[in-house]
Amino acid sequence: MDMKKAMVCKVLLTTVLAVSLVGCKRSSSSNTSRGTGWDINSRDGGFQYNTDFKEQETAPGLVFVEGGTFTMGKVGDDVMHDWNNSPNQQHVQSFYMDETEVTNKMYTEYLDWIKRTYPPTEENFKGIYTGALPDTLVWRNRLGYNEVMTENYLRHPAYGEYPVVGVSWIQAVEYANWRTDRVNELYLEEEGYITRDAKIAVEAGETFNTDTYINAPTQTYGGNDSIISPQNTRRRVQTTASGDTINVHAGRETGIISPDYRLPTEAEWEYAALGLTELRNYNIYRGRKKYPWDGQYTRSGKRKVRGDQLANFKQGKGDYGGIAGWSDDGADITNAVKQYEPNDFGLYDMAGNVAEWVADVYRPIVDDEFNDFNYYRGNVYTKNSISEDGTVKIVTVDEIVYDTLPNGDVIARDLPGEIAQVPVDEDETYLRQNFDRSDNRNFRDGDKRSSRYYRDYDEFDDGRKTTASQTRKMYNSPKHNVEHVDSTGEMIREYDKSNKRTSLINDEVRVYKGGSWKDREYWLDPAQRRYFPQTMATDYIGFRCAMSRVGSKSKGRNKTKN
């Protein structure tokens, strides 16, 4: 009996050892190259790569939107006869989008950082802070009293969770860029690549920029090596057999650095607003949607809240919220975020409250014949500026360039610590098939210049020719000019008085989507599209950010295919 037990024990021991050896072999295979058989992440050096990466982490404030195909454009009658949102089939890649609009509290955090880092009391930095400030005067009305909003809406905590307004398209883009850097700075600190709380104590010439860290990490924080040095961070220094240090800085291959926050494209915004998943039977949409919620009405049909409005919008002439004590939508101006039910993607206020900026340059046509995948008009391709010594050119505090916008506002083109950008040239475009120029805003936009064989020149109003890149005669909105101050210190403003203008469309008008507290029900349809100058702001346009998804289309495990 004892011999039998001994034999059984030996067999079990042998089995356990065999399984453990197989298990070890399998676990180490992820650190062995299938291309060369060499070790990956070897202590002796060589190729270093994050072989434990699972999937993209959802960044702060965002929710996941799984991509797919949908019918972009108007699905009802075009009562306005705009002909600018004809239905067309599009496919959108998976992405992330802000759960709510960017709120006053979120935006004032940005303003606080700008003010601490670039004190407006210093003449060299004054334009950075003033250029980021929302225009609070958008609340004023010639025949209305709204001074309480002018003075309180942005700053007062009573409006902290209300969507920020008075922000131009350009300001929204700058906020998204700032947010990218702050989130990646936090991620790198958490992983030990940056010293703790370095993000709090930085000064104007020592700010963190994601692209700078990736392309020239030693020039991050103004070249202050102590902030990213392994000797001062919590990260353990790895030394190879030859004495070289590895994994000192985090590159894209680590999976730590997040893709950029940005404005959503028009196609992404419309797809996310529709939330078509609730109309899906297997791989077929059963019908179309008029609103982000299911149904043909703006009032809830649920028993507990039957009759309640599902969004914040203008009910009718002189009716922005209903009768006192029994409000129709709970708001007269904007409302705090998350006051109405989210759509099927978990997104709030995709109809009503405030309309929202999207990334696209406006054109009446959506050219689905040329592209039906991740559609976007507005690509202006740039590249890093290279100094004479071959390194990337980092903007310093003494090299800040300010641009004067057509409305007289002054904004900083680049902030210190960022890499200066220049348009792509023949080095990138020569003999390419997919793009041949830096500025693609006018590509196939319907005017004569969109023809491949049309002569390559523009005309001034007096008939003179110019080779300058600008929108052609079909999109010839007024061109107001603002010059720098004259000898008396006054800004020189020149209004375009030409009588040959036939359009309000140019390369600087951007699409905004969705209805607002100031709009009637007609504009709640996600397919509706309007445009506004990118340098101007209103009391009814806000924004939310998006982020591209890298890796798999679906989140988590792959879904069963139907």
Tell whether 432 is covered by a domain: no
Q: Which residues, including other chains, have CB under 8 Å from residue 481's CB and lie 6 or more apart?
A: 406, 493, 494, 496
Lowest mean pLDDT among 14-23, 414-423, 505-514, 519-528: 14-23
Tell whether 295 is covered by a domain: yes
> What mean pLDDT is predicted for residues 15-30?
48
Q: Which residues, including other chains, have CB under 8 Å from residue 86's CB and lie 6 or more apart?
A: 73, 74, 366
Name the residue with tokens 């002796």.
44
Q: What is the mean pLDDT of the chain?
A: 86
Q: Which residues, including other chains, have CB under 8 Å from residue 387's CB and lie 6 or more apart?
A: 393
Is residue 334 located within the same domain as residue 303?
A: yes
User: 335: buried, middle or exposed (CB in 10 Å: 19+, 13-18, 0-12)?
Assistant: buried
Is residue 491 located within the same domain as residue 517?
A: no
Is residue 155 located within the same domain as residue 269?
A: yes
pLDDT at 268: 98
User: 399: buried, middle or exposed (CB in 10 Å: 19+, 13-18, 0-12)?
Assistant: exposed
Tell whether 562 is covered by a domain: no
> What mean pLDDT is predicted for residues 266-275?
95
Tell whether 97 is covered by a domain: yes
> What mean pLDDT is predicted for residues 192-207?
86
User: Residue 21: which pLDDT band, with cuts at 50, 70 and 90?
Assistant: very low
pLDDT at 8: 55
Residue pLDDT, tens place only, 141-191: 999 999 999 999 999 999 999 999 999 999 999 999 999 999 999 999 999
Tell whether 215 is covered by a domain: no
> What mean pLDDT is predicted for residues 264-271?
97
Check if the beta carbon of residue 226 is closer than 8 Å to that of residue 243. Answer: no
Is residue 460 located within the same domain as residue 530?
A: no
User: Residue 22: which pLDDT band, with cuts at 50, 70 and 90?
Assistant: very low
Helix, strand, coil percentages, rounded to 5, for the chain: 25, 15, 60
Is residue 541 located within the same domain as residue 491?
A: no
Identity of the residue numbered 460? F
Tell whether 456 is covered by a domain: yes
Query: Which tokens belong to 488?
Result: 């008396």
pLDDT at 226: 84
**DSSP SS3 for 509:** strand
pLDDT at 200: 87
- How many distinct structural domains can be found in the chain? 2
Q: Which residues, including other chains, have CB under 8 Å from residue 329's CB and lie 6 or more apart?
A: 309, 311, 312, 313, 315, 321, 322, 335, 352
Is residue 277 located within the same domain as residue 342?
A: yes
pLDDT at 368: 92
Tell whether 44 is covered by a domain: no
> What mean pLDDT is predicted for residues 511-535?
95
pLDDT at 284: 63
> What mean pLDDT is predicted for residues 444-473?
58
> What mean pLDDT is predicted for residues 252-260?
94
User: Residue 17: which pLDDT band, with cuts at 50, 70 and 90?
Assistant: low
Alpha-carbon gap, residue 173 to 545, rounded angstroms: 9
Lowest mean pLDDT among 165-174, 305-314, 356-365, 434-443: 305-314
Check if the beta carbon of residue 498 is closer than 8 Å to that of residue 480. Answer: no
Indicate which CATH number applies to the domain containing 542.
3.90.1580.10
In percent, the amount of the chain with pLDDT more than 90 equals 56
> What mean pLDDT is predicted for residues 116-123?
93
Check if the beta carbon of residue 88 is closer than 8 Å to that of residue 370. Answer: no
Tell whether 124 is covered by a domain: no
pLDDT at 384: 96
**DSSP SS3 for 258:** coil
307 pLDDT more than 70: no
Is residue 151 located within the same domain as residue 282?
A: yes
Phi, psi of 309 (to 5 degrees): -70, 145
Residue pLDDT, tens place only, 421-435: 999 999 999 999 999
Angle at 262 between CA 276 and CA 185, to 5 degrees: 125
241 pLDDT more than 80: no
Alpha-carbon gap, residue 406 to 414, rounded angstroms: 18
23 pLDDT more than 50: no
- Other residues' Cβ atoms within 10 Å of the Cβ of residue 226: 11
60 pLDDT more than 80: yes
> What mean pLDDT is predicted for residues 513-525?
94
458 pLDDT more than 80: no
pLDDT at 116: 94
Name the residue with tokens 């359009």.
503
Higher model confidence: residue 304 or residue 210?
Answer: 210
Is residue 278 located within the same domain as residue 343?
A: yes
Query: Which tokens belong to 122?
Result: 């210093």
Higher model confidence: residue 254 or residue 19?
Answer: 254
Whole-prediction pTM: 0.90
Is residue 498 located within the same domain as residue 521?
A: no
Q: Would you list the DSSP string of 140-166?
A: -BTTB--HHHHHHTTT-GGGTTSBP-S
Is residue 286 located within the same domain as residue 140?
A: yes
Q: Would you list the DSSP string of 365-407?
A: ---TTT--BS--S--B-EEE-B-TTSSB-BPPTT---EEE-TT
Name the residue range of residue 456's domain: 444-506
In the structure, how many helices (H) and strands (E) does the chain have?
A: 10, 24
Is residue 312 located within the same domain as residue 337?
A: yes
pLDDT at 27: 39
Residue pLDDT, tens place only, 532-562: 999 999 999 999 999 999 999 998 655 554 4
Residue pLDDT, tens place only, 377-404: 999 999 999 999 999 999 999 999 998 8
259-298 burial: b if 16+ Cβ within 10 Å, else e: bbbbbbbbbbbbbbbbbbeeeeeeeebeeebbbbbeeeeb
pLDDT at 293: 82
User: Residue 285: which pLDDT band, with cuts at 50, 70 and 90?
Assistant: low
User: 192: buried, middle or exposed (CB in 10 Å: 19+, 13-18, 0-12)?
Assistant: middle
pLDDT at 221: 92
Which residue, among 133, 120, 143, has the nearest Cα to 165 in the 3D structure? 133
466 pLDDT more than 60: no
> What mean pLDDT is predicted for residues 208-235?
87
**DSSP SS3 for 512:** strand
User: Residue 19: which pLDDT band, with cuts at 50, 70 and 90?
Assistant: very low
Check if the beta carbon of residue 506 is closer than 8 Å to that of residue 475. Answer: yes
Is residue 452 located within the same domain as residue 308?
A: no
